[in-house]
Amino acid sequence: MGRQDAWGWSMFGVVGVLSAFIIVLPIIVFWLSVREGRPIDPEAVYSFVHYVEVFSDEFSFEVLANTLGFSVVTLAVALIFGIPTAWLAERTDLPGKPVLYTLMTIGLLMPGFAAAMGWLFLMHPRIGMLNIWVMDWLGLAEAPFDIATIVGMGWVQGLNLAPVAFIMTAAVFRAMDPALEESAEMSGAKFSTIVRKVTLPLAWPGILAAGIYIFTIGFAAFDVPAIIGWSNRIFTFSTYMVLQLNPDDDLPQYGVAAALSTLVIILAALLSWWYSRLQKQTHRYQVVTGKGYRPRIMPLRGYVWAAWGFLAFYFTLSKLMPLLLLVWGSLLPFFQVPSMEAIESMTLDHFRELPWELTLEGIKNTGILMVLTPTVTLIISIAFSWVVLRSKVPGRSFFDFVAFLPHAIPNIVFGVGILLFTLYIVRNAIPLYGTLWILLIVFVVARVSYGTRMTNSSLIQIHKELEESATMSGASTGGVVRHVIVPLLTPTLIYAWLWIALLTFRELTLAVILTTRDNVTLPVVVWSLWNASGFGQAAAITLILIALMLPLVILYWWVTRATGLYQTR
């Protein structure tokens, strides 16, 4: 369409404004990282002092080593549980597959910080239930397990990310041409050879994509290292960044945080570049053709029990056990191993003594954000998709690249960016700091990559002639959007809305950076109670949070079944 009317222009406007934000925030971060003194001060000069500070501190290198170790363990654990589960779900005659999918969905109930609390109750060197049992039983003087280590934290994070590995590799197993494996079988290869020589190599691009994605999430993860590592002085990148912004005994180190963020942007850029190169190389085996294959189904026969045993093991470790320990911890005046004595001392005091005023404020704010974030994100995503896929503006694919940036760069960088933006650039002109709006903006930025991926892929499936025929019927651009595009996108929009709402509900990282007393969210209340060593209260409020999420998760589960969509992130 050559000429745009008001609707067309306003969609360009929306896309332009958000794109500017996405681009400007990292630039601000970089700019402030090379300013010495108060950045806005005319006397401030350009220098690399913050980088010198980062690199001259041995602790920085310890954090880097921690982060890498943590990410590697996370990746390994996630793949070890995720890939076999995907294979079982897609390529075997495992009975009860709907149950498997339901459990995977309900697993979303468990935010990272909740699982981390559960594991701490189990394997803390001093109070950990398992440690106390094993020490009693074997008469050990020292605790055999310690979850507050890099490996321990990676284990918890990996269990939490296994569903991501599951989803991403399941798609690959589903779309694989069965003839490729059948011809290996006809060539006389045995099962294990086929898996090693054909199935896994063909699935490799998908596994690689999942691996890099999980590694990136692990690198920027906050929940688990914060709950388990912080009090034990084991920091990874995200927690270290938050420490710089809220040091225990000093002024906020914004310059250092900016320098750290810049380094992470560079790292993320290198990783993305490496990934896109790898992808080009692995493109030569196009396994996913989009054709509807009926994949080869392996009969499990006697191994059904082993398969479900494996799955039950995973669900117990990652969901059930942490949840039970949270319930247990929330009902006891102080944490102890189960005994008659403990059961007799059970009380609802932790729930009663919660700072209810703060909690209700958190619930209110989280509720508002939960409604606004997905709504705004999806409106903007539709505008992005329309500009990229339907308008004929030159350079429109650039906007697609911009919308993808928040996926490639850890979200915490955008959090730091908007913090510095509100503190130094707009300051009092637009009083954003300490409001819900600042959280809304950064949440939208963080989710717009996902939103546009969803709207892009379903807009592509809408035949262009459906819109052109509306235009020929005399409809304006706005009419086409309102009466044709949006109604046809509705199933995708409902699904994506619920998923973004769920992520918003449990978002801790960005909220921790930007929260003040006035815009506190529910996860931040959890975090501050935990930090104040109110373990029982933190467990209690986490359970409330999970209970509040429950209807949303059930709705999400119902929608995924109704629409046949299933996907994480």
Partner 1 sequence: MIEVRNLSLTYHSDRESHLAVDDVSFRVEAGEFYTLLGPSGCGKTTTLRCVAGLERPDAGTILIDDEPVSSVEEGIWVPPNQRAIGMVFQSYAIWPHMSVFENVAFPLRHGVATNVSGDIGMKVRDALAMVQLDGLEDRPAPHLSGGQQQRLALARALVMEPKVLLLDEPLSNLDAKLREEMRVELRRLVKSFGVTTIFVTHEQIEALTLSDEIAVMSDGKLVQEGPPLEIYSRPSDPFVANFIGQSNMLSGVVRQSGIETPVGTIVCEIPEDCGEGAAVMIAVRPENILLGDGGDGNLLRGDVASRIFLGSSVECVVTVGEVGLRVLVHPDAAPQEGANVALRLPTRHCLVMRA
Of 16-24, 83-91, 460-468, 523-531: span binding partner 1 (CB under 8 A): 460-468
Question: 109-134 burial, b for 16+ CB within 10 Å, e for fewer?
Answer: bbbbbbbbbbbbbbbbeebbbbbeee
**Torsional sign, CA 187, 193, 197, 199:** positive
Residues 5-64 interacting with partner 1 (rule: CB under 8 A):
5
Taking Cα atoms as reference points, which of 415, 371, 412 lies closest to residue 505?
371
Q: Using the rule CB under 8 A, is 563 a contact of partner 1?
A: no
Of the candidate spans 59-67, 255-263, 419-427, 472-480, the one that interacts with partner 1 by CB under 8 A turns out to be 472-480
Helix, strand, or coil (residue 306): helix
Assess 465 for contact with partner 1 (CB under 8 A): yes
The span from the CA of 29 to the CA of 417, in Å, is 5
The residue from 16, 252, 309, 487 that contacts partner 1 (CB under 8 A) is 487
Question: Where does residue 274 rank: exposed (0-12), middle (13-18), buried (19+ CB within 10 A)?
Answer: exposed
Closest approach, Cβ 470 to partner 1, in A, equals 7
Rounded Cα gap, residues 515 and 189, in angstroms: 59
Query: Given its phi and psi angles, is residue 434 left (phi above 0), alpha (psi -120 to 50 degrees) or beta?
Result: left
* CB count in 10 Å sphere of residue 430: 13
**Smallest separation (angstroms) from partner 1 to the CB of 262:** 34
Residue 484 in contact with partner 1, rule: CB under 8 A: yes
Residues 489, 480: Cα–Cα separation, whole Å = 12
Q: Is residue 143 a contact partner of residue 131, using CB atoms and an 8 Å limit?
A: yes
3 binds partner 1 (CB under 8 A): yes
Pick one of 472, 517, 551, 564: the residue that binds partner 1 (CB under 8 A).
472
Q: Which is nearer to partner 1, 38 or 482 (CB)?
A: 482
Which residue from 267, 304, 475, 552 is in contact with partner 1, where contact means CB under 8 A?
475
Closer residue to partner 1, CB minimum distance, 457 or 469: 469
- Give 93 or 468: the residue with its C-beta nearer to partner 1: 468
Question: Site residues for partner 1, window 325-364 (CB under 8 A)?
Answer: none
The whole-angstrom separation of Cα 456 and Cα 381 is: 8
By CB under 8 A, residue 564 contacts partner 1: no
69 CB burial (10 A radius; 0-12, 13-18, 19+): middle
- Residue carrying structure tokens 């199935």: 199
Q: Which of 246, 473, 533, 563 binds partner 1 (CB under 8 A)?
A: 473
CB of 491 to partner 1, least distance (A): 10
By CB under 8 A, which span of 187-195, 300-308, 310-318, 482-490 interacts with partner 1? 482-490
> Pairing relation of β-strands 45-46 and 35-36?
antiparallel
Between 6 and 327, name the residue whose CB sits nearer to partner 1: 6
Out of 469, 531, 533, 563, the only residue in the binding site for partner 1 (CB under 8 A) is: 469
Asked if 471 touches partner 1 (CB under 8 A), the answer is yes
* C-alpha closest to that of 524 among 513, 534, 539: 513
Indicate whether 488 belongs to the interface with partner 1 (CB under 8 A).
yes
Stretch that binds partner 1, among 70-78, 207-215, 421-429, 480-488 (CB under 8 A): 480-488
Provide the binding-site residues for partner 1, judged by CB under 8 A.
1-3, 5, 463, 465-466, 468-476, 479, 483-484, 487-488, 490
